[in-house]
Structure 1
Amino acid sequence: MKITSMMQTGALALTLLTTHVMAAVSPQEAAQLGTTLTPMGAQKEGNANGSIPAWTGGLKTDAAPVTKGFLGDPYANEKPLLVITQANAEQYKDKLTPGQMAMLKRFPDSYKIPVYPTHRSSSFPQQIYDTVKKSAVATELVNGGNGLANFADNHYYPFPIPKNGVEVYFNHASRYRGGNVKKQTAQAVPQPNGSYTLVQISEETGFPQQMEGVDPGKAANALYFYKNTITGPARLAGTVSLVHETIDQVKDPRQAWVYNAGQRRVRRAPQLAYDGPGSASDGMRTSDNADMFNGAPDRYDWKLLGKKEIYIPYNNYKLQSPSVKYADILKAGHINQDLSRYELHRVWHVEATLKPGQRHIYAKRDLYFDEDTWALVEIDHYDGRGELWRVAEGYLVNDYAHGVASYALQTVVDLVAGRYVASGMYNESAQGPSYGELSKMADYTPSALRNAGIR
């Protein structure tokens, strides 16, 4: 009887703990948003020595001229405060990730981190700020942390005051992307000698609450719909991938299809998830490396380690400038770091460890999320032996014209192979990303793929 009583007491305690972890924040906590915290949930004040300033609203929509979707650089006249190299890395290691330290060691003669003055430039539309406040008191984790309840009406940033690691991840996964968006991007996997072939991609993303013809029943668990069409080189042109991204992917798994132009057939593509090979990446990234990390969180245990101050890629307007060519960016081993910009910012540090019995080529990931935007900016990937294997960096750009935190490009560097994949570049496109596009569900169906892939 004592044992039974103890078991019942333990079960009740576990239930209460689970309820506490899964619950939305109280109205009193949410009242901090826009007062002591920024509307997005970041610390409003700067740090003790002033190297991180207070957030005062971010950049205005007219911060610099915008030409054909390409953002002007509001900080073009600034010079680096310091440049971190392998020679002086030890002096700054408390502000660097293990991955950044490993990059400096792996490429001692070329990899560097130019550090500029910190600007808390992020700004979002007022509608997003209002949504964040509603999400904070309404949205809850369900299904063991794999799904979200009371989220469909709000649809952005469910946990601006996070209590655990998976909540931080969901803020990244559900972040505001400017509505339906179309863009022309390029991807490359340079060889050790620096040579590469560009893969050119037409990308489209649609969000269910902003699309025509979406079944309301299916939209409740839909996060977004994504389609990419490879337009070059000729041997790959016409291949189309389609993804229906769900919120709870354990309850309702991601659906994916590929149209193969050579075979003229549409096939289901379950490999477009987890550690399936990334499209046209020569094995240098997994499917869930796209967007830094995407998809279901169910294979990992997520531990929130807290906040820290580190140097992260930030305000990288030069790396998205049409005056910079892909050949200027793509070099042997890693991108041209002379074109990059890093700033000191506070980040949420989350550790994702593979659950017992689950399979993935990455046994652990250390993830760093910018506190002002919730965008992932640094990830260290560890193999099954516990060795640091790959380092991902997202070169963040704050699009002041549209209130969107995006990437000039993303990289995943393989420390063993000495190679990398760079994706999401658009410098040489006819125009930058186009936001607020009209979109309908009929464009994101398997039957639409054949038309999209006609050469």
Structure 2
Amino acid sequence: MLKKHYKTWGGAIALSLMISAANAEVSPAEAAKLGKELTPIGAEMAGKGDIPAWTGGLTKAPAGHKAGDKPVNPFADDKVKFVITGQNYTQYAANLTDGQKAMFAKYPNTYKMPVYESRRTAAYPQFVYDETKKNATNTKLLEGGNGLANYVEGVPFPMPKNGLEAIWNHIVRYRGGSVSRIVGQVTPQTNGDFTVVRFQDEFTFRNKLKDFDPNADQNVLFYFKQDVLSPARLAGNVLLVHETLDQVKEPRKAWVYNAGQRRVRRAPQVAYDGPGTAADGLRTSDNFDMYNGAPDRYDWKLEGKQEIYIPYNSYKLKDPSLKYDQIVKAGHINQDMTRYELHRVWKVTATLKEGKRHIYAKRVFFIDEDTWQATEIDHYDGRGELWRVAEAHNVMYYDNLVPWYAIETLYDLNSGRYLALGLDNEEESSYKFGFERSQADYTPAALRREGVR
């Protein structure tokens, strides 16, 4: 019954927005390649060189893992093949991003990339594959590319024809439907000193609400809530977001509860280059989840595929035996705890449109073909200079079939500082997928009731 209603919702959005969409560009014959020549979400099935073939991904938990616990590293016995350092990185330049090269140049003695065997672990539930195959011939960009028509869930464009289609694959990708987590964010000083800001995040895609109503909030994609748990000076502040599918037609709706004032206020600044929560100016609102929100301020160009060394199967960074000060170091995280593998990525360049405003004049995205997750993003300022380098350390939550991030990092090359988000080593609980919420839990009134300092 739920899926039937959700399909009705998808049709309702297309009708209610009354915006024409471009014709779908994938024929049934092309879509038939999914699950054969291509993986069910559109990656190349075959292997090449150091990149193996995709054979279904990691779908079973390793020995020692208990459901609901933090993930056990299934590749703990893997050995480092080689290490890319500040002294030898030019030998590997063809498989590095400009941002990675800049990190080696800035931190020649400490920044390194331990390279391991490439393992294509990405996997999703069968319904994601089924919906993706339908999307291939049915889902369309709304006029201007600012939303999707005929979209339910899964990957909207498994065979993207342009940069906008590729970035939408990242924006709406499957992250378990609903999840609750407690994670830490740090913004270390140049000497490595840091304070952890602890968030309790939760989000629920609209069709996963336990009281899903296809006639309510028809342009909402998902609901997001973020409570600040510590430090004491920030504790009690809460952010609520209704993430809209077409944010130009209906901008993202956001509210904040300020514990000091005991008031709920609209928060239009929670979008684009508005300041990120408790980020000390080191990230924008649309840096969260590597990139989020309306793509209307940029022109998007699909540059094709490359083979790049990217953070992958980063289970070491989830190890509950580690303390945060073992991960957070001056300049960058402890790269001894990282794992890089050679993978194919889609390269997408976003250039700020004439007359539009954003602190980033250009962004270059490297999107993992097996997950559609943005994994490396280079950010350029208005002078055309490389400014910030984002790296997401990918991990597969195998017991829930959810690829996501262990942590996200964003390095500021000018200040020598950085932000790391997603730390949970010192937290008792793991991510809770299948988290149940009602629509009433995501209202400004609920925010006011919940806000207690």
Match in the other structure for 2:133: 133
Bigger Cα displacement from structure 2, 304-313 vs 319-328: 319-328
Equivalences for 1:7-86 in 2 at 5 Å?
22-47=23-48, 50-67=49-66, 68-86=68-86
Match in the other structure for 2:235: 237
Cα distance change, pair 116–276 in 1 and its aligned pair in 2 (3 A):
same
Q: Give the AA of the match of 1:114.
A: P
Q: Give the AA of the match of 1:56.
A: T
Aligned-pair distance for 1:412? Answer: 0.5
Aligned-pair distance for 1:222? Answer: 1.6
Q: Give the AA of the match of 1:227.
A: K
Q: Is the 8 A contact 1:21 1:163 kept in 2?
A: no
Equivalences for 1:412-427 in 2 at 5 Å?
412-427=410-425
CA distance in 2, matches of 1:21, 1:142: 7
Aligned-pair distance for 1:296? Answer: 0.2
Aligned-pair distance for 1:438? Answer: 1.3
Local SS of the residue matching 2:127: helix
Q: Is the 8 A contact 1:64 1:73 kept in 2?
A: no
CA distance in 1, matches of 2:62, 2:353: 45
Local SS of the residue matching 1:217: coil
Q: Give the AA of the match of 1:41.
A: G
Give CA deviations for 1:395-423 in whole Å, capped at 9, x if unaligned: 00011111101111001100000000111
CA distance in 1, matches of 2:265, 2:53: 51
Q: Is the 8 A contact 2:22 2:143 kept in 1?
A: no
Bigger Cα displacement from structure 2, 437-446 vs 371-380: 437-446
CA distance in 2, matches of 1:359, 1:435: 37
Aligned-pair distance for 1:64? Answer: 4.3
CA distance in 1, matches of 2:92, 2:244: 40
**Structure 1: tracts of 5 or more residues without a match:** 1-18
Give CA deviations for 1:290-339 in whole Å, capped at 9, x if unaligned: 00000000000000000000000000001011112211110011100000
Bigger Cα displacement from structure 2, 422-431 vs 212-221: 212-221
CA distance in 2, matches of 1:315, 1:342: 8
Equivalences for 1:2-401 in 2 at 5 Å?
22-47=23-48, 50-67=49-66, 68-151=68-151, 154-401=152-399
Q: Is the 8 A contact 1:22 1:145 kept in 2?
A: no
CA distance in 1, matches of 2:59, 2:240: 35
**Root mean square deviation, CA, Å:** 1.3
Bigger Cα displacement from structure 2, 288-297 vs 124-133: 124-133
Local SS of the residue matching 1:184: strand
Q: Is the 8 A contact 2:299 2:353 kept in 1?
A: yes
CA distance in 1, matches of 2:300, 2:23: 14
Aligned-pair distance for 1:387? Answer: 0.1
CA distance in 2, matches of 1:219, 1:211: 12
Give CA deviations for 1:133-173 in whole Å, capped at 9, x if unaligned: 1111110001211111111xx22210011100111111111
Sequence identity percentage: 57
Bigger Cα displacement from structure 2, 371-380 vs 65-74: 65-74
Local SS of the residue matching 1:66: coil
Match in the other structure for 1:16: none
Aligned-pair distance for 1:213? Answer: 3.9
Aligned-pair distance for 1:265? Answer: 0.3
Q: Is the 8 A contact 1:184 1:429 kept in 2?
A: yes
Local SS of the residue matching 1:392: strand
Match in the other structure for 1:15: none
Q: Is the 8 A contact 2:139 2:149 kept in 1?
A: yes
Q: Is the 8 A contact 2:375 2:394 kept in 1?
A: yes
CA distance in 2, matches of 1:136, 1:453: 43
Aligned-pair distance for 1:215? Answer: 4.3
CA distance in 2, matches of 1:124, 1:110: 36
Match in the other structure for 1:404: 402
Cα distance change, pair 219–156 in 1 and its aligned pair in 2 (3 A):
farther
Q: Give the AA of the match of 1:331.
A: K
Give CA deviations for 1:168-206 in whole Å, capped at 9, x if unaligned: 111111111112110001001000111111101101101
Normalising to structure 2: TM-score of the pair?
0.94
**Structure 2: tracts of 5 or more residues without a match:** 1-19
Local SS of the residue matching 1:216: coil
CA distance in 2, matches of 1:437, 1:135: 26
Q: Is the 8 A contact 2:179 2:202 kept in 1?
A: yes
Local SS of the residue matching 1:386: coil
Q: Is the 8 A contact 1:115 1:341 kept in 2?
A: yes
Match in the other structure for 2:448: 450
Q: Give the AA of the match of 1:34.
A: G
Cα distance change, pair 131–175 in 1 and its aligned pair in 2 (3 A):
same
Q: Give the AA of the match of 1:395.
A: H
Q: Give the AA of the match of 1:191.
A: Q
Aligned-pair distance for 1:214? Answer: 4.5
